Structure 1
Amino acid sequence: MDSGLIRRTFLKFFEKKGHLIVPSAPLVLKNDPTLLFTNSGMVQFKDYFLGNATPKSKRIADTQKCLRVSGKHNDLEEVGIDTYHHTMFEMLGNWSFGDYFKKDAIAWAWELLTEEYKLPKDRLYVTVFEGDTKENLPFDQDAYNFWKQHIDEDRILRGNKKDNFWEMGDQGPCGPCSEIHIDLRSEEEVKKLPGKELVNQSHPQVIEIWNNVFMEFNRKADGSLEKLPAQHVDTGMGFERLCMAIQKKTSNYDTDVFSPLLDFIGQAAGVKYKQDEKTDIAMRVMADHVRAVAFAICDGQLPSNTGAGYVIRRILRRAVRYGFTFLNFKEPFMYKLVPVLGNQMKEVFPELEAQKDYVGKVIFEEETSFLRTLEKGLKRIEVIQAELKGKVISGPMAFELYDTFGFPLDLTSLIARERGFSVDEDGFKAEMEKQKTRSKADAAKETGDWVLTGDDEKTEFIGYEHLESPVKIVKYRKIKQKNKELYQLVLDKTPFYAESGGQVGDTGYLSSNGEKISIIDTKKENELIIHFTEKLPADLGKPFQAVVDRSKRQLTMNNHSATHLLHAALRQVLGKHVEQKGSLVNDKVLRFDFSHFAAMTPEEILKVEDIVNSKIREDIHLDEKRNVPIEQAKSLGAMALFGEKYGDFVRVITFDPKFSVELCGGTHVSATGHIGLFKIVSESSVAAGVRRIEAITAEGAEAYVRAELGVLDEVRNLLKNPKDLVASIKSLSEEKHALEKKLEAINAERANQIKDELVRKASKTNGHTLILEKVSVPSADALKNIAYALRNQFDDLLMILAADVDSKPQVAVMIGEKLMQSNKFHAGNLVKELAKEIEGGGGGQPFFATAGGKNLNGLNAVIEKAKQLISQ
């Protein structure tokens, strides 16, 4: 059974059991502040468990792209070293939201594994929760009894809280779980030691393949548990491990999930898998990591230096350096794997095949950049090696290589071992812990439990039509972040737009009987609309009037609608490959990131501006359609952005059906004329293959143009109002250039005179030519030219000049080639000592070094100090 059939069998099985089959959520999360990535199958269903949203079906099944490389689930350094950890993986899952519970979940799991997949019953073990006396949690007798109907009792094992009680996080839904494990060892090994002894002992061939979680409780902020109003089932089966079991392999990497990638890598590197442990590890790392990187980029997360982007960059760099070190890939290679992966996954995740060229280009640019960094890092290691007094690279040095050059500890250790050194790993870990502590302090957040003050129903958003409305507070909670106390309010309905799709959240206030509570921000937490305030109302139960800041909303709408016009104009001018890759829309500016691989020319920028402004002048009226079936919306020409999670029904925003049709939940102007004026203020690169435009509209654009015209008027006045301003500036520039040439000639002549004077003052001392003088030179370049001219004239030169360079003190030390061979003098060491006299510092090469300083009056002291040093 190949991997595609294994996946299809799972989905068809649960479809027959009445489950709705839903697509995978994006790997990258947009509205969940608690996670960087989707790290388990249940993430896209959190709101159903929390009661913030109603599921489209009480029974759902899917296969979910997951990524685990940060936080609680951090397996990155094990990936490739062993044969069963992965960064990205698929999680097959079936879900019950208040419908079936333990009995059916257990029966169907057994039926699927043993009857559909034909896994041997005598190799399967199950675990059930043994209970926990500290929390007064009982043994899961129900699960045990249900399992007895399918499997021998000696194969039902009791598991502790760590292994058999699943929690979403520090707070939230949780419950006992029942895992299914399989023993894949040979018959001989099984006879020697029963598989039950190896369950949950990290044995690579006695592995968990499926976890059935029975959601019964809610973990509160104080750590206590309360019963959920309904019981749910949340299951997760590791697809890669399931394939290993069904295909009777000893490693996930031996299955057809990975073999196409491994074959491609091996052929390119000229090596075979399973012939050398070092190259095997490198091949596994590359095959695994390209999956995580490619799908993350595909879902909208570009490599960067912070947050989720840094995680993706780190994964890619780990793969690149393994290929560089062990497979001799000195040029970019990872990007070549993208078409292989896209073709392999197009049946289940077609988004990668559709974007393979774009994803490949982003990875290529990242690889190119890191290979340069890798080279610099290796040079830095050579410097560290030369400076070491012992044979140990210190923790701070190893951390510098990690932090600055992206060298993980294992790479530094590997290079050190090859050169006969070692690394202070404990010191490195201490530095890493300091960084983590700083990061945790920056991000420290305490969140209290929700306190109900009314009926806890889903908030109705009424902000498309209304900027004011009577509302009630239905619940609130206190949060503490960076030692600042804030409150989050949930209303029964709200005119406040919650930050989403790049548009910032509304601000405003709640008022009642003279009391006014400022709303400082509005955000989404999954499907929950949360209003931030610095204080609670005196009476939470009374009605309030919610009022949105009208001016801010209007300016934000101007910018958001202009973003849609900009997107369409870019596609018209640059090509249909242009797609949105991120945006920020607030009341002051719009920022739009888009896929394109070259800087826009001034002509292209002007053309885009002209198109947008012409659409503004047309005063095109907004055509807004709500609750449009997703397929119908696409047929209207609306673009569905990769990396976004759309529901079955969407909102379509149209400004001229032949120009701009987009899926969007943001707020917009009723007609483009309200935008007034559109002006691009910058175009730049934000990442490999992604450009960024910043633009302003309405009042902001008018103020910008007014300021620019003011500068122009000032320039005209300074130039005495010439008829042709451009010709006048050009003439001034040419005149300046001619004067600079004359000045260069004068300075060169002056430098020659100084050099000749110094030659006359040179003296023979202890077998070398000494020039020790205080001079005044026109520039630092002149000082350098004088020094080299003297070196060319005297091969036994020792020159020390204390120079006044345009009223700034400098010291220059030059040593002739012949004198250098004697090792009597070192220019760098001399200049460091002499620089102290002018309150400065500097350095350079052993034969030539310079220093600058603050104290011009110290030049005489430099000469005296130099005499002492020479005599010594």
Structure 2
Amino acid sequence: MTTKEIRKGFLDFFAGKGHQVVPSAPIVVKNDPTLMFTNAGMNQFKDIFLGEAPVKYSRVADTQRCLRVSGKHNDLEEVGIDTYHHTMFEMLGNWSFGDYFKQDAIAWSWELLTKVYGIEEDKLYVTVFEGDEKEGLPKDQEAYDFWKQWISEDRILLGNKKDNFWEMGDTGPCGPCSEIHVDCRSAEERQLVDGKTLVNADHPQVIEIWNNVFMQFNRLKDGSLQPLPAQHVDTGMGLERLVRILQGKSSNYDTDVFQPLISFIAAESGIPYSQGESLAKTDIAMRVMADHIRAIAFAIADGQLPSNVKAGYVIRRILRRAVRYAYSFLGIKEPFFNKLVPVLADQFDGVFPELKAQQDFVQKVILEEEISFLRTLATGIQRFEKYTSDNKLVDGNFAFELYDTFGFPIDLTDLMARERGMTVDMEGFSQALEAQKARSRAATAVDTTDWVIVNPGDSNEFAGYDLTETPALILKYRKVTAKGKVQFQIVLDRTPFYAESGGQVGDTGFLTAEDGLQIRITDTKKENALNIHFTDEIPEGFDLEAQVIATVDADRRTLIQSNHSATHLLQAALREVLGTHVQQKGSLVNADYLRFDFSHFAKATDEELARVEAIVNQKIRQNIALKEERNVPFQEAVNRGVTALFGEKYGEFVRIITFDDAYSRELCGGIHVQATGQIGYFKIVSESAVAAGVRRIEAITGVTAEEYFNNQAGLLNQLKGLLKNPKDLAKSLESLLEENSRLKKEIEKSVFEKAANIKNELATKAESINGMNFIAARIDFANADAIKNLAFSLKEIVSDLFLVLASESDGKPGLTVMISEDLVDKRSLNAGNIVRELAKNIQGGGGGQPFYATAGGKDSSGLDVALAKARELAIQAR
């Protein structure tokens, strides 16, 4: 069976059991502060498990693309080395939300694996939770008894809490789980060693394939467990492992999941792949590349560009790991990794079509990242080449610098060290790495209490499309401490506050009690399906149980919605002017300005930006009425050609925002003006590059644009006044600049002539000290280029020169040191070290090359002392 057939077989099987097959969520997580990436199939259903969203379908099945490279689920260093760990993988899952439970989940697991996929029963083992006396949790006898109906008891193994009790995190839904393991060894090997002894023992051929989690409890902050009001089933089976078993391979990398990629790499590099028969570095490199391209390509397609922060840093790190392996072990020194994108896009065409739709963009982004990193890699290798150590030990901090700054894995540094007869201080490296991790943990540490229930209820209605004020009840609140700051988070049963989403910032405002006491709402964000209201303080005496009036800061909201609607008009104009390839890649909409990132591979010209601006302002003047459609079936919207964002998780029903059916129609959950005329005016203030193939426009509207033009007009009038109100301001400025340039050249000529005269004077005053021609003098001109020219001119006519010049510019002292190259070589003199020592006398610092260096400072009174100190250094030189 092919991968496509195996995937389809799973989804068809559960569809036949009454499950709704739903699409994969994006690999990049939004609206969940606890996750950067989807790392399990259950992530997109987290709000249902938490009781924060209604159940649309009681039975669901899907294949979810997942990424595990950071935090608790970090498999990165295993990828490519063993046979079954991956960064991105597909998680096949079936779900029950308060419907069936252990009996059906177990029966269907057995039926699918043995009857549909035909896995031999004597290769299977299952585990169930053995219980935990400390927590008062009993053995999962129910699951054990259900399994006895399908498999012999000697193949039902008891597992501890680590292996067989699944938890979402430190708090939240959890429960016992039952894993299914497959013994992939030959019949002879299975006779020699009992497979049950190898389950959960990290044996490469006895692997977990499926986990059935039975959600029964909720873990509270204090560690205690509460029964959930409804019991759920959450299962996950790794597609790559399943394919390996069904295709009879000893490694996931030898299946049709990875072989098209590996075969392409082997053919292009001219290096054969050994089909897993050895652990040659070349094999590992091909595996790493084949695995990593999947994670990187889908993350970019889902909207996460490589960067130096947060999720973007993770993606950049994975990409660089792949390029490092290609560079070090396959000898690929030119950009190559990006060429895997078309191969991958073809593999997933019809499964995850968003990659095929963005193939060119994704490939371009990866290409630019490769080019940049290959330069960095070369620089890091040069740094290592220059590194010397008397005791043949590479300092651990230096090894960590290569790792952290230049992306060198420690094994690459170790390899280069061994080639030179050196060793790496691994303990020092580990300490530096752990210190960095500790700093990262401290910077992101958040302490969150359990929710305090104030009023019963689970409604979380958003009324902000129609209202900026509404009566509401506080359902619950909790305290959050981060970086020493305490905040409170509040959930209302009904809210007019827009929660930050889709680039639009969250609303601010007040919750007002009947007695006039107020809670100031400083921000509103989404956490899964909840609208969370932030406040720095809950006033003493505030009656949390009573009804409040929730009021949005309407003036701020007006500015935000103008910028948001302008963003829609901007995207349509960009597509009209630059081409329909333009796709939104990010946005920020706040009260001050709008920021719009879009796919485009060249800088927009001034003429193009002017056309875009003109089109948007034309639409504003037309005062186009907002057409808002709510609860439109998603597929209907797609069929109508409405613009949607790649990487966005849309529900079954969506909201369409239209400004002229023939101009702008987008799926959007944000707040908008009722007619475009309310925007007032639109002005682009900057256009720049964000990343490879991504440009950024920043713009302003309304009152902010008015203030901008008033400031520009004021500046223009000021300039006119300074120039005596000329008829042609531009011509007058041009004449002024020409005159300034002429006078500047005359001054420079005068300074350089003066420097030439001083040169001859200083040369005659050279003092013979310690076998050197020593010159130390104060000069009364401050042109840095002239001083540098003077120093180099003196070096040409005075042999064995030790020169120190002191100068002053606008009250700030400066020092220049020039040492002849012969003195640098023979006497080990270093101008950089000397100038740093002398700069102490002027409360400054500096540096430069061994033969030429400069310094600046704060205290001009120390210049003569510095010159005297220079003479002492000349006398003491050896």
Q: What is the TM-score with the length of structure 2 in the denominator?
A: 0.96
Helix, strand or coil: the match of 2:826?
A: coil
User: Which residue of 2 is the match for residue 493 of structure 1?
Assistant: 494
After alignment, is 433-442 or 88-97 more displaced? 433-442
Distance 1:273 1:128 in 2: 39
Is residue 244 of structure 1 aligned with residue 244 of structure 2?
A: yes
Distance 2:353 2:7 in 1: 15
Distance 1:564 1:590 in 2: 11
User: Which residue of 1 is the match for residue 457 of structure 2?
Assistant: 456
* Number of residue pairs aligned between Structure 1 and Structure 2: 869
User: Which residue of 2 is the match for residue 12 of structure 1?
Assistant: 12
Matches within 5 A, 1:392-541: 392-514=393-515, 515-533=517-535, 534-535=537-538, 538-541=542-545
Distance 1:860 1:517 in 2: 64
AA of the residue aligned to 1:467: T
* CA 1:736–1:647: 2 relative to 1, 3 Å: same
User: Which residue of 2 is the match for residue 163 of structure 1?
Assistant: 163
8 Å Cα contact 2:127/2:158 also seen in 1: yes
AA of the residue aligned to 1:554: T
Equivalent position to 1:659, from 656, 663, 666: 663
Distance 2:822 2:437 in 1: 53
Distance 1:812 1:467 in 2: 66
8 Å Cα contact 1:91/1:236 also seen in 2: yes
User: Which residue of 2 is the match for residue 679 of structure 1?
Assistant: 683
Equivalent position to 1:360, from 358, 363, 367: 363
User: Which residue of 1 is the match for residue 601 of structure 2?
Assistant: 597
What is the CA-CA distance between 1:45 and the residue it aligns to?
0.7
What is the CA-CA distance between 1:493 and the residue it aligns to?
1.6
Matches within 5 A, 1:28-39: 28-39=28-39
What is the CA-CA distance between 1:282 and the residue it aligns to?
1.3
Helix, strand or coil: the match of 2:779?
A: strand
Helix, strand or coil: the match of 1:325?
A: helix
Distance 1:423 1:641 in 2: 48
Equivalent position to 2:621, from 611, 617, 636: 617
Structure 1 residues 353-398: Cα deviation after superposition (integer angstroms, max 9, x where no partner) = 1101001111111111111222222233234x23x34333333333
What is the CA-CA distance between 1:187 and the residue it aligns to?
2.8
8 Å Cα contact 1:802/1:809 also seen in 2: no
Distance 1:463 1:854 in 2: 57
User: Which residue of 2 is the match for residue 846 of structure 1?
Assistant: 850
* CA 1:83–1:735: 2 relative to 1, 3 Å: same
Distance 2:729 2:758 in 1: 43
Distance 1:82 1:777 in 2: 69
8 Å Cα contact 2:513/2:542 also seen in 1: no
Helix, strand or coil: the match of 2:52?
A: coil
Distance 2:768 2:455 in 1: 97
Structure 2 unmatched ranges of 5 or more: none
Distance 2:473 2:18 in 1: 39
What is the CA-CA distance between 1:575 and the residue it aligns to?
0.8
What is the CA-CA distance between 1:808 and the residue it aligns to?
4.4
User: Which residue of 2 is the match for residue 637 of structure 1?
Assistant: 641
Structure 1 unmatched ranges of 5 or more: none
Matches within 5 A, 1:716-865: 716-762=720-766, 769-794=773-798, 796-806=799-809, 808-819=812-823, 822-823=826-827, 825-865=829-869
8 Å Cα contact 1:101/1:233 also seen in 2: yes
Helix, strand or coil: the match of 1:834?
A: helix
AA of the residue aligned to 2:371: T
User: Which residue of 1 is the match for residue 325 of structure 2?
Assistant: 322
What is the CA-CA distance between 1:399 and the residue it aligns to?
2.9
Distance 2:14 2:104 in 1: 12
User: Which residue of 2 is the match for residue 105 of structure 1?
Assistant: 105
Helix, strand or coil: the match of 2:41?
A: coil
8 Å Cα contact 1:840/1:852 also seen in 2: yes
8 Å Cα contact 2:808/2:860 also seen in 1: no
What is the CA-CA distance between 1:459 and the residue it aligns to?
1.3
AA of the residue aligned to 2:163: D
User: Which residue of 1 is the match for residue 281 of structure 2?
Assistant: 278
Is residue 310 of structure 1 aligned with residue 287 of structure 2?
A: no
Runs of 4+ in 1 over 6 A off after TM superposition: none
User: Which residue of 2 is the match for residue 210 of structure 1?
Assistant: 210
What is the CA-CA distance between 1:867 and the residue it aligns to?
3.1
Distance 1:561 1:176 in 2: 49
Distance 2:804 2:604 in 1: 50
Distance 2:250 2:355 in 1: 29
Percent identity, please.
63
* CA 1:147–1:683: 2 relative to 1, 3 Å: same
User: Which residue of 2 is the match for residue 547 of structure 1?
Assistant: 551
AA of the residue aligned to 1:522: T
What is the CA-CA distance between 1:321 and the residue it aligns to?
1.4
Structure 1 residues 514-572: Cα deviation after superposition (integer angstroms, max 9, x where no partner) = 22222222211111112223216632322222211111111111111111101111111
What is the CA-CA distance between 1:580 and the residue it aligns to?
0.8
8 Å Cα contact 1:293/1:312 also seen in 2: yes
User: Which residue of 2 is the match for residue 709 of structure 1?
Assistant: 713
Distance 1:513 1:485 in 2: 26
Is residue 379 of structure 1 aligned with residue 382 of structure 2?
A: yes
C-alpha RMSD of matched pairs (Å) = 1.9
What is the CA-CA distance between 1:678 and the residue it aligns to?
0.9
Helix, strand or coil: the match of 2:690?
A: strand
What is the CA-CA distance between 1:139 and the residue it aligns to?
0.7
Helix, strand or coil: the match of 1:42?
A: helix
User: Which residue of 2 is the match for residue 181 of structure 1?
Assistant: 181
Structure 1 residues 768-825: Cα deviation after superposition (integer angstroms, max 9, x where no partner) = 544444434442222222222233334x322312221535444333344555553464
What is the CA-CA distance between 1:192 and the residue it aligns to?
2.1
* CA 1:479–1:818: 2 relative to 1, 3 Å: closer
Q: What is the TM-score with the length of structure 1 in the denominator?
A: 0.96
Equivalent position to 1:337, from 332, 336, 340: 340
* CA 1:248–1:709: 2 relative to 1, 3 Å: same
Helix, strand or coil: the match of 1:716?
A: helix
AA of the residue aligned to 1:493: R
Distance 2:447 2:814 in 1: 55
User: Which residue of 1 is the match for residue 586 of structure 2?
Assistant: 582
Distance 2:726 2:831 in 1: 55
AA of the residue aligned to 1:677: Y
What is the CA-CA distance between 1:307 and the residue it aligns to?
1.0
8 Å Cα contact 2:817/2:835 also seen in 1: yes
User: Which residue of 1 is the match for residue 118 of structure 2?
Assistant: 118
8 Å Cα contact 1:809/1:855 also seen in 2: yes
AA of the residue aligned to 1:424: D
User: Which residue of 1 is the match for residue 570 of structure 2?
Assistant: 566
Structure 1 residues 273-324: Cα deviation after superposition (integer angstroms, max 9, x where no partner) = 1276111111111111111111000001111111111111111111111111
Distance 1:609 1:833 in 2: 56
After alignment, is 452-461 or 578-587 more displaced? 452-461
* CA 1:123–1:633: 2 relative to 1, 3 Å: same
8 Å Cα contact 2:92/2:236 also seen in 1: yes
8 Å Cα contact 2:770/2:874 also seen in 1: no
Distance 2:830 2:504 in 1: 61
* CA 1:524–1:862: 2 relative to 1, 3 Å: closer
* CA 1:231–1:818: 2 relative to 1, 3 Å: closer
AA of the residue aligned to 1:96: S
Helix, strand or coil: the match of 2:328?
A: helix
Structure 1 residues 377-427: Cα deviation after superposition (integer angstroms, max 9, x where no partner) = 2233234x23x3433333333333333323343333333333333333333
What is the CA-CA distance between 1:707 and the residue it aligns to?
0.9
